[in-house]
């Protein structure tokens, strides 16, 4: 049973319905299985918007909200109980139990959807659905969609709501971070000399899974040495070299909520002077930016400040040469700091919530939002423009931050990142 109460899911549906126009219908599909190869599938992961409104983890399900005037009706279509199917592929909740569990007006088996949907659409003006359908859903949907002229994207309503996390969502994010902390701390303690990146990865996965986080929130990155300069390095299969750093970007998902944490540690626990120069710069920038997080501040302001501080620091270290203003104007630093300062975090690691409002203006931070702060510096091994001692160093430090009423709370502050802790 889910940790978030049925009442909360109902409140979310109420809120969506309230924002729908009069005489409209919303149709929201679950995820479908994706083929990995031949007759094996990827592990099933529910669609986040569907999950946000139902907390239901089965495939082949459809949520329908029908709004007449001010009132609305909710209907959920789910898999039919089927002994043979369930023997092969796992138990299904079934209509009887679903009626007891969900605070939803009607529950039907999915086979009945096609027949019933025409009735729902009669005399309706607007049809809401998530414009991101997969292929099989598009086919099913084409006929339905023709019956109503005005199409609206329900995702825009749901994803705006997802921006502000409830207390129960924050609890789950904290739980995910707590498990992730165990994995990062395990790697810090581990004797890494003579090991391979994949052995570190297996420690991460063992920690996640043995604490009930059976999915990663994203593919873990265990990037030693120069591989840290490949931002999405996921090969994770190189022998570790004594004297090099390892950038570890790994976060589990717990009950559908993500954590997203990066730590950069040394194979032999000791940072060289050059590694430390860059590490301390990135760490101080990360701390300064985290301190800036509070309501009404914009993410672009945080990013701009992180660029300013990283550029000034890189000029000081001789990594960037020349005039500060010119570097910023020509964006020369993008070579070493190519990504943004952070992103929303929630049901998805890059939580699918808007960054701009309906008028195209940037959305400022508000209490209850969760975002990552993750500055980094990446210097390729063959970059001859940079002092030799810095070449091949890639460092990112990433934490998960909750915006509070008058500031912020670093939800991952318990995960070590001080040089003195990494070296002990
Ligand atoms: N782990 C993905 C990211 O940091 O955005
Ligand atoms: Mn991130
Ligand atoms: Mn990350």
Choosing from 145, 161, 177, the residue where a domain stops is 161
CATH of the domain at 10: 3.40.350.10
The full DSSP string for 226-255 is GGGGSTT-----PBP-TT-EEEEE--EEET
- φ, ψ of residue 74 to 5 degrees: the values are -110, 140
Task: Give me the domain span that covers residue 45.
Answer: 6-161
Q: CA quadruple 233, 356, 361, 164: dihedral positive or negative? A: negative
pLDDT at 2: 55
> pLDDT tier at 143 (50, 70, 90 boundaries)?
confident
CATH of the domain at 296: 3.90.230.10
> pLDDT tier at 424 (50, 70, 90 boundaries)?
confident
Q: At what angle do helices 167-189 and 197-210 cross, to 10 degrees?
A: 140
Same domain, 184 and 295: yes
State if residue 286 touches ligand 1 by the CB under 6 angstroms criterion. Answer: no
Atom of ligand 1 nearest to the CA of 339: 5
Same domain, 212 and 252: yes
Same domain, 118 and 189: no
3-state secondary structure of 420: helix
In a domain, 213, yes or no: yes
Choosing from 161, 177, 196, the residue where a domain stops is 161
Same domain, 96 and 192: no
In a domain, 406, yes or no: yes
What average pLDDT does the segment 368-389 reach? 98
- Work out how many domains the chain is built from and give that number: 2
Q: Residue 368's closest CA among 412, 415, 401? A: 401
Q: How far is the CA of 343 from the centre of ligand 2 (A)?
A: 6
State if residue 260 touches ligand 1 by the CB under 6 angstroms criterion. Answer: yes
Same domain, 150 and 239: no
How distant is the alpha carbon of residue 52 from its chain centre?
A: 14
- Residues 44 and 59: their CA atoms lie apart, in Å, by 8
Tokens standing for 401? 């931050």
pLDDT in tens, 11-52: 999 999 999 999 999 999 999 999 999 999 999 999 999 999
What average pLDDT does the segment 310-317 reach? 98
- Residues 385 and 276: their CA atoms lie apart, in Å, by 20
Q: How far is residue 208 from each of residues 182, 332, 345, measured CA to CA in Å?
A: 8, 39, 18
Q: At what angle do helices 299-317 and 273-292 cross, to 10 degrees?
A: 160
Element (H, E) at 257: strand 257-258
In a domain, 21, yes or no: yes
What percentage of the chain reaches a pLDDT higher than 90?
A: 94
- Residues 49 and 57: their CA atoms lie apart, in Å, by 12
Atom of ligand 1 nearest to the CA of 374: 4
Same domain, 141 and 220: no
In a domain, 395, yes or no: yes
> pLDDT tier at 107 (50, 70, 90 boundaries)?
very high
In a domain, 71, yes or no: yes
What average pLDDT does the segment 365-390 reach? 98
Active site residues: 39, 232, 249, 260, 339, 343, 350, 374, 378, 396, 398
Position with higher pLDDT, 174 vs 70: 174
Query: In this predicted structure, which of 119-133, 139-153, 291-305 has the lowest mean pLDDT?
Result: 139-153
3-state secondary structure of 311: helix
pLDDT at 267: 98
Q: Taking the C-alpha atoms of 187, 188, 191 and 197 in order, what is their torsion angle to the nearest 10 degrees?
A: 40
Q: Please check the confidence at residue 381 and state whether its pLDDT lies above 80.
A: yes
Same domain, 67 and 44: yes
In a domain, 1, yes or no: no
In a domain, 316, yes or no: yes
In a domain, 215, yes or no: yes
Choosing from 134, 161, 188, the residue where a domain stops is 161
State if residue 349 touches ligand 1 by the CB under 6 angstroms criterion. Answer: yes
Q: How far is the CA of 3 from the centre of ligand 2 (A)?
A: 25
Q: How far is the CA of 368 from the centre of ligand 1 (A)?
A: 20
Same domain, 174 and 60: no
What average pLDDT does the segment 133-159 reach? 90
> pLDDT tier at 1 (50, 70, 90 boundaries)?
very low
Model-level pTM? 0.97
Same domain, 176 and 34: no
Q: Residue 120's closest CA among 72, 182, 154? A: 72
Same domain, 54 and 82: yes
Q: Please check the confidence at residue 62 and state whether its pLDDT lies above 60.
A: yes
Q: What is the CA radius of gyration of the chain?
A: 24
Same domain, 120 and 191: no
Q: Residue 52's closest CA among 366, 353, 364, 261? A: 353
Atom of ligand 1 nearest to the CA of 251: 1
What percentage of the chain reaches a pLDDT higher than 70?
A: 100
Q: How far is the CA of 172 from the centre of ligand 3 (A)?
A: 18
Mean pLDDT, the chain, rounded, equals 96
State if residue 344 touches ligand 1 by the CB under 6 angstroms criterion. Answer: no
Query: In this predicted structure, which of 126-130, 147-151, 174-178, 352-356 has the lowest mean pLDDT?
Result: 147-151
> pLDDT tier at 153 (50, 70, 90 boundaries)?
very high
Residues 6+ apart with CB under 8 A from 380: 226, 229, 391, 392
Same domain, 135 and 268: no
Contact 85, 119 (CB under 8 A): no
State if residue 218 touches ligand 1 by the CB under 6 angstroms criterion. Answer: yes
Q: CA quadruple 90, 95, 96, 102: dihedral positive or negative? A: positive
> pLDDT tier at 387 (50, 70, 90 boundaries)?
very high
pLDDT at 134: 85
- Residues 367 and 376: their CA atoms lie apart, in Å, by 26
């Amino acid at each position: 049973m889910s940790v978030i109460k049925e009442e909360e899911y109902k409140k979310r549906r109420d809120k969506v319905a309230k924002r729908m126009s009069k005489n409209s219908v919303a149709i929201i599909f679950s995820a479908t299985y994706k083929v990995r190869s031949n007759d094996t599938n990827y592990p099933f992961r529910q669609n986040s918007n569907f999950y946000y409104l139902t907390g239901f983890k089965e495939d082949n399900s459809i949520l329908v909200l029908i709004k007449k005037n001010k009132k609305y009706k909710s209907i959920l279509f789910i898999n039919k109980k089927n002994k043979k199917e369930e023997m092969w592929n796992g138990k299904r909740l079934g209509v009887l139990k679903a009626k007891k569990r969900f605070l939803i007006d009607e529950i039907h088996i999915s086979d009945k959807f096609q027949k019933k949907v025409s009735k729902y659409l009669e005399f309706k003006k607007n049809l809401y659905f998530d414009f991101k359908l997969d292929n099989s859903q598009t086919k099913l949907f084409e006929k339905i969609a023709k019956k109503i002229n005005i199409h609206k994207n329900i995702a825009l309503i749901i994803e705006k709501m997802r921006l502000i996390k409830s207390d129960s969502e924050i609890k789950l994010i904290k739980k995910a971070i707590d498990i992730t902390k165990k994995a990062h701390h395990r790697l810090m303690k581990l004797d890494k000399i003579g090991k391979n990146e994949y052995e570190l990865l297996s420690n991460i996965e063992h920690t996640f899974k043995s604490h009930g986080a059976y999915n990663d929130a994203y593919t873990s990155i265990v990037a030693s040495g120069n591989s840290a300069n490949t931002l999405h390095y996921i090969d994770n299969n190189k022998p570790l070299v004594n004297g090099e750093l390892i950038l570890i970007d790994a976060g589990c998902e717990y009950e559908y909520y993500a954590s997203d944490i990066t730590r950069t540690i040394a194979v032999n626990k000791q940072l060289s002077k050059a590694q430390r120069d860059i590490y301390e710069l990135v760490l101080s920038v990360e701390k300064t930016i985290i301190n800036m997080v509070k309501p009404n501040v914009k993410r672009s302001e945080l990013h701009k400040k992180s660029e300013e501080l990283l550029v000034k620091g890189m000029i000081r270290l001789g990594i960037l040469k020349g005039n500060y203003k010119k570097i910023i104007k020509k964006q020369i630093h993008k070579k070493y700091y190519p990504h943004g300062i952070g992103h929303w975090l929630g049901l998805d690691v890059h939580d699918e919530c808007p960054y701009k409002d309906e008028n195209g203006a940037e959305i400022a931070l508000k209490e209850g939002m969760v975002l990552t702060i993750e500055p980094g510096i990446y210097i390729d091994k063959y970059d001859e423009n940079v002092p030799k001692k810095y070449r091949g160093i890639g460092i990112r430090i990433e934490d998960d931050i909750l915006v509070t009423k008058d500031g912020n709370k670093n939800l991952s502050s318990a995960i070590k990142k001080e040089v003195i802790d990494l070296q002990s």
